Structure 1
Amino acid sequence: MTKALIIGGGIGGPVAAAALQRAGIEAVVHEAHAGPGDNLGTFLTLAPNGLAALRTVGMLDAARRAAAFPTTGIEFVNGSGRRLGRLGDGSERGPAELRTITINRGDLQRALAEAARDQGIRIEYGKRFTRYTETDSGVAAEFGDGSSAEGDVLLGADGIHSLVRRLMDPEAPNPAYTGLLGIGGYLESSDVAPTAEATTRMVFGKRAFFGYQTGPSGEVFWFANLGHSEMTAEEIAARGDDDWKSHALALFSDDLPDITTIMRAAEPSRFRPLGTYDLASLPRWSRGRVALLGDAAHAVSNSSGQGASLAVEDALVLAACLRDLPDATRAFAAYEHRRRARVERIAAEGRRRGNQKVGSAHPAARLVRDMSLRVVFALIARFGSQAWMNDYRVDFEGSDSSPGLRC
C-alpha cells in the first residue's frame, strides 16, 4: 500500500491525508471547489475527542487559532427564558487545549488545508470527481476537467451527498430528512446581553428552536431549527430570503426578545434554510478498494455536536487499519468494525435530540416538554451521560509502554 486518493477536501479529507502520511502512505486530496471552502456553511463545534484526534496529526494548534471561542457548556431555557438546565461537557476538567471550541466551518476547512500543506500534503482544487474505475492492482479516479489520478485505494470524504458512495453502492439508502430546516449566521455585534462565559444558550421556543453564543468582543454566533416538511433547494429559493426572514421572525415573536433582536440585525441571506439530514446506517462502508469516511459513511444530525469530530476520528482509525493490514479489503472491514457501533449510537442520539426541538402550539404540550427536559438535564448533569462521546480517544501511535491502535 503506497498511495491513496482522497475525494473531498473539507474536514475529513485533509486529516485522513495527514494520518496516512504518518502511516507511511502517500495521500493526495482532490476537492471540487476552487479553494478550501470559504463561505461554506455557518459554524460548528469541535469536541474534546475530535480535538485530541487533531492533536495526533499535528493540526490542533491550527484549528484552535482559527476558533471563535470556547464552548464548554450549554444553558437550556424555554421560550420565556426560564432555565431548564445547564450541562457542561466535562472538557473544562481536562487540558485547556482539548476544551470544546466553536469555529466557523470555512475557517476550520482553511486551517486544516493549510496545516496539511505545511506537512507536505498535496491538495488539488477544482477537481470535481465524476467516476472511478477499479482494477486488480489499483483504482483510477476521473474528474470533470478531463484529468485522472491513480492510486492503490480511493477514500470518499465527500460529504452527506457523496458521489463516491452512490457509485460504490447504488443500492445504498439516501440521507433521511430529520424534519428540521436550519438557518444561522454571525453578527459582529448585537444589543443582547452576553451569554455566560464559554456557554451557548439553547432556547426551546414555542414554535421553533434557537441557539446563540456571544464572544469576548460582542460578536454573536446564532442558529435556528424550524420544523417543516421537506423542501427541495429550488422550492426553498423560490420563496425568497426576505420571506424566510419574516417567517422566522414570526415563529419566535412570542419568545425571548433577544432572539428577534439578533435575527432583525442579520442579513436576509442568512435565512435561506438548508434541510437537516442524517444517514444513520449504511449496509456497507466499503467495496473493493473504495471506502467512505465522515458524513459520506454516517452523517449525524448537528444536534449531536459530533459530526466534525467523528470525521476526524474516522480518519485516524482508517489510516491505522491501512497501515496494519496491507490488504485493502481486510483493512476496510476492520475499520468499519471498529467504528460502526459508536457512530450509529451517536447518530441515534442526534436524531433524538433533534426530535425535541420541534415546538408545539399547545401550552399543555410545552409544559410537559419543559418538565421532562428538566428531569433529563438534571440526570445528565448528575451522571455524566455525555462522557462516552467526549472522552473517547483514538490511540493512533501509542508509546513505549502501550502499542496504540492495531487493527
Structure 2
Amino acid sequence: MTRVLIIGGGVAGPATALALHKAGIDVGVYEAYPVGGDDVGAFLTIMNNGMDALAAVDAAGAVEAVSFPATTVEFLSGSGQVLGRQHIAGQLETGHDPRTMRRSSLYRALTEQARRRGIPVVNGKRLTDAVPEGERIRAVFEDGSTELGDVLVGADGIHSRVRTLIDPAAPEPRYTGLNILYGYTDDTTLPLSTDAYRMIQGKRAFFGYTTSPQGETFWFARLPAPELTRDAIAGTTIDGWRRRAAEFFIADTTPSRRIIEATWHEIIGGNAYDVPSTPIWHRGAMVLVGDAAHAASPAAGQGASMALEDSVILAKCLRDRPRDEAFAAYERIRRERVERLVATSANDGATQDSGDEVLSEQLNDRQQSRAWLYAHHIEWAETVA
C-alpha cells in the first residue's frame, strides 16, 4: 500500500491521518470547507477512552493543551435536588481523564499536529465522486481536481458523501427528536462548576454545564421538539435561541434558566441526529470511520471518542493486514461496540423526569454500568491477527 486519501478534516479525518502516519503509511487529508470542519461553534468532551486513543498516536498532549478537565459528574433533578455525584469513569483507573474543549480548538490541534508531521491537509476539496481504477481509487472533487490513492477513507461526518458512494441505499441520518443548543457565558455571578459537569434532568428538557479554569461556563440543552429546517436554524438569532431554550426551564428550580439568560454573545443551535446502523462499512478501496459509519446522539458524550478509536484501529489493521483483510478486521473489531454506543446514547437522550428517587437510581446505575465505554484501551504495538 502506498497512499491513503482521507475525505473530511473534522475529528476523525486528521486523527486517522496521524494514526496512519505513525503506521508508516503515506496519507493526505481533503476537507470540503475552506477553513476547517463544520459545527465549529459547539463544544465536546473527549472521554477517557478517546484520550487513550489519542495517546496511542502521540497526540494526547496537544489536545490537553487546548482543553480543560471535567472529571466529575453531578446529577440534579428539575426541583434542584442533588441526586448523585461521582467520577465520570466511576472507580476505574483508566490513566486518562476526560477533557472539554471547543470543537474548533480540537480541529486546530489535530490539524496542526498532522501538518507538523508532514501530512498534507488540503481545504476547499468537496468530494463529488470516487472512481475505481483497477485496485486503486480516484477521488473527484467539486473544483474539478482529482487524487489517486490505494484507499479512500470516508471521515466526512453524519451526512457522508462516501457512505452513499459505498452504498447508495445506505440509511439516512435519523432525527432523534431533540433540538440541541450550545452556549458560553463568562458571567462569574452564576453558580460555577469547575472540574465537574452538572447534569440537570428538568421537567421538560435536559441541561448540562461546566466551568473552565478561566471562569467561562460551557452549557448545552437538549430540547424535545420537532426537527428544525435549515432555514429556521440559519434565521434564528442568539436572542431567539436564548428565549427558546429558557422557556423549557421555567418550571425548574435550578440554575439552567439563569445560565441561559446570562448568555449574550454565543449560542449555537441545531438538530441532533444518529445513524443506528450502517449495513455496509466498506466496498472496494473505500471505508468509513467515525460519524460516517455510526453516528450517535450527543447524549452519551462519546461521538468524538468513538471516532478517535476508529481512527487508531483502522490504521492498525491497514498496518498489519492486506487491504481487504484489514477492512474486514476493522469492522469486526468495531461494529458491535459502536452500535451498542449508538443504542445507549439514544436511550440516554430519551430519559425524562420520573420523580427524584427513580431518576437518581437511573442516573447512578447509568454511570456504574459504563466501564465497557470508559476503560477501553488500545495497545498500539499489538498486532492485529
Query: Which TM-score tier does this pair reach, normalised by the shorter chain?
Result: over 0.9
CA distance in 1, matches of 2:242, 2:345: 26
Aligned-partner SS, 1:139 = strand
> Residue 369 of structure 1: CA displacement?
4.1
> Residue 39 of structure 1: CA displacement?
6.9
- Note if contact 1:48-1:91 (Cα within 8 Å) is conserved in structure 2: no
User: Quick one: structure 1 residues 216 and 91, their matched pair in 2 at CA, closer, same or farther if it must change by over 3 Å?
Assistant: farther
Letter of the 1:406 partner, please give it. V
Letter of the 2:384 partner, please give it. R
Letter of the 1:388 partner, please give it. W
Which residue matches 1:363?
none
> Residue 241 of structure 1: CA displacement?
4.7
1:387 aligns with 2:371: yes
- Note if contact 2:10-2:38 (Cα within 8 Å) is conserved in structure 1: no
Which residue matches 1:225?
222
> Residue 316 of structure 1: CA displacement?
1.0
1:375 aligns with 2:361: yes
What stretches of structure 2 of length at least 5 have no aligned partner? none
Give the alignment partner of residue 302 of structure 1, picking from 280, 289, 298.
298
Give the alignment partner of residue 348 of structure 1, picking from 343, 349, 361.
343
> Residue 231 of structure 1: CA displacement?
2.5
Aligned-partner SS, 1:229 = coil
Give the alignment partner of residue 149 of structure 1, picking from 147, 150, 169.
147
- Note if contact 2:164-2:170 (Cα within 8 Å) is conserved in structure 1: yes
Letter of the 2:57 partner, please give it. V
1:212 aligns with 2:209: yes
CA distance in 1, matches of 2:231, 2:366: 41
- Note if contact 2:8-2:37 (Cα within 8 Å) is conserved in structure 1: no
Aligned-partner SS, 1:41 = coil
1:197-346 paired onto structure 2 within 5 Å: 197-238=194-235, 241-256=238-253, 258-267=255-264, 270=267, 273-326=269-322, 328-346=323-341
Superposed CA deviations along residues 312-361 of structure 1, whole A, max 9, x for unmatched, are: 110111111111222x22211111011000001111110000001x5xxx
> Residue 304 of structure 1: CA displacement?
1.3
> Residue 22 of structure 1: CA displacement?
2.0
> Residue 380 of structure 1: CA displacement?
4.7
Aligned-partner SS, 2:112 = helix
**Deviates most, 223-232 or 345-354:** 223-232
Instruction: Report the count of equivalent residues.
Output: 385
User: Quick one: structure 1 residues 94 and 344, their matched pair in 2 at CA, closer, same or farther if it must change by over 3 Å?
Assistant: same
Aligned-partner SS, 2:140 = strand
CA distance in 2, matches of 1:39, 1:292: 20
Superposed CA deviations along residues 144-172 of structure 1, whole A, max 9, x for unmatched, are: 22211010010000000001111221101
> Residue 269 of structure 1: CA displacement?
5.8
- Note if contact 2:8-2:30 (Cα within 8 Å) is conserved in structure 1: yes
- Note if contact 2:32-2:124 (Cα within 8 Å) is conserved in structure 1: yes
1:56-135 paired onto structure 2 within 5 Å: 56-67=56-67, 69-90=68-89, 94=93, 98-135=96-133
> Residue 41 of structure 1: CA displacement?
3.5
Which residue matches 1:165?
163
1:406 aligns with 2:384: yes
Superposed CA deviations along residues 258-277 of structure 1, whole A, max 9, x for unmatched, are: 2222212223761x521100
CA distance in 2, matches of 1:90, 1:239: 37
Which residue matches 1:42?
42
Which residue matches 1:401?
none
Aligned-partner SS, 2:356 = helix
Which residue matches 2:51?
51
Aligned-partner SS, 2:54 = helix
- Note if contact 2:40-2:102 (Cα within 8 Å) is conserved in structure 1: no
TM-score under structure 2 length normalisation: 0.94
Aligned-partner SS, 2:17 = helix
Which residue matches 2:380?
396
What stretches of structure 1 of length at least 5 have no aligned partner? 359-365, 398-403
RMSD: 1.9
CA distance in 2, matches of 1:269, 1:105: 14
Aligned-partner SS, 2:293 = helix
TM-score under structure 1 length normalisation: 0.90
Aligned-partner SS, 2:65 = helix
Which residue matches 1:18?
18
User: Quick one: structure 1 residues 380 and 167, their matched pair in 2 at CA, closer, same or farther if it must change by over 3 Å?
Assistant: closer
CA distance in 2, matches of 1:405, 1:202: 40
Moved over 4 A (4+): 238-241
> Residue 181 of structure 1: CA displacement?
0.3
> Residue 256 of structure 1: CA displacement?
3.2
> Residue 237 of structure 1: CA displacement?
3.7
- Note if contact 1:8-1:159 (Cα within 8 Å) is conserved in structure 2: yes
Aligned-partner SS, 1:102 = strand
**Deviates most, 28-37 or 176-185:** 28-37
User: Quick one: structure 1 residues 269 and 50, their matched pair in 2 at CA, closer, same or farther if it must change by over 3 Å?
Assistant: closer
Which residue matches 2:175?
177
**Higher percent of residues as helix:** 1
> Residue 239 of structure 1: CA displacement?
5.6
Q: Identity of counterpart residues, as a percentage?
A: 43
- Note if contact 1:181-1:273 (Cα within 8 Å) is conserved in structure 2: yes
- Note if contact 1:37-1:110 (Cα within 8 Å) is conserved in structure 2: no
